[in-house]
Amino acid sequence: MPIDPAKAVAAEPRSAEISWDHKDVQLYHLGLGAGVPATDPDELRYTLESRLHVLPSFATVAGAGMGVVGGLSAPGIDIDLAAVLHGGQSITLHRPLPTGGRAVSTSRVAAVYDKGKAAVLVLRSEAADEDGPLWTSDASIFVRGEGGWGGDRGPSERLPVPDRAPDATVERPIREEQALLYRLSGDWNPLHADPEFAKLAGFDRPILHGLCSYGMTLKAVVDTVLGGDVTRVRSYRTRFAGIVFPGETLRIRMWAGDGRVQVAVTAVERDDAPVLADTLVEHS
């Protein structure tokens, strides 16, 4: 089997120094669709260096870090990228992210689960600078065809959609070239750019990065529910329930209360097909 669970989990954590500056933050925000309208004061806090605030989901790309693709080169893991899908993502913020800095990112395979027809790798990254911890990030990676060895199935927590109308609903269009721009922040998986590779993975055309829809959703929550204050976000998690294509539109429904915002995200043009599920933003 190309995945050796015991070897992967037992491997020594890998540490690397990462750095970023305002240009990296601005590029990331633009990759999420920020800057429309270009002169809107609410958008300038994502695009203009003199007013810049850092959306917490930037932690998934800061300094490239271990990254999803990088984590798949850990000891005990030898798999085909065409069999890989990002299953879920969580971030815990220990304090607001600076617009630029240096940190040490420590990454490891925290767990390997057996889902029968697939294996799930949990890739954990923790970052800290000279002032202390910044964030902890977990990426859950589905590897099709690599399950069935009788291992632990792992957690399967679900977050039912509230039985009431959402407190807010917004729609966010995905530009045709958005995946090409977003990948400049460090996720070079050809699934999001190369039509031939996308076909090998079973898709008619390249799909948007799950982490791009993840960032777009957090921006919508911050702008709509949290008054544009990125520093209020404490944690953010989701399960990638389906794909979305460049050129489509995300419908983002939000239910707020008690320091948390529950979110459901669907693709408008495909009869509200699920995109993000079990999605929760915890805030101050």
Where in the sequence numbering do the catalytic residues fall? 187, 192
Amino acid, single-letter form, for residue 259: G
- Identify residue 210 by its one-letter amino acid code: G
Amino acid at 221: V
Pairing relation of β-strands 14-20 and 101-114? Answer: antiparallel
242, 275 contact by CB (below 8 A): yes
Sign of CA dihedral 158, 90, 58, 10: negative
What SS3 class is residue 51? helix
d(CA 282, CA 13): 28
71 burial level (CB within 10 Å; 0-12, 13-18, 19+): buried
- Distance from C-alpha of 222 to C-alpha of 43, rounded to nearest angstrom: 12
Six token digits for residue 75? 């000891």
Is 216 within 8 Å of 29 (Cβ atoms)? Answer: no
- Gap between the Cα atoms of 172 and 130, Å rounded: 37
| CA dist., res. 53 & res. 231, Å (int) | 9
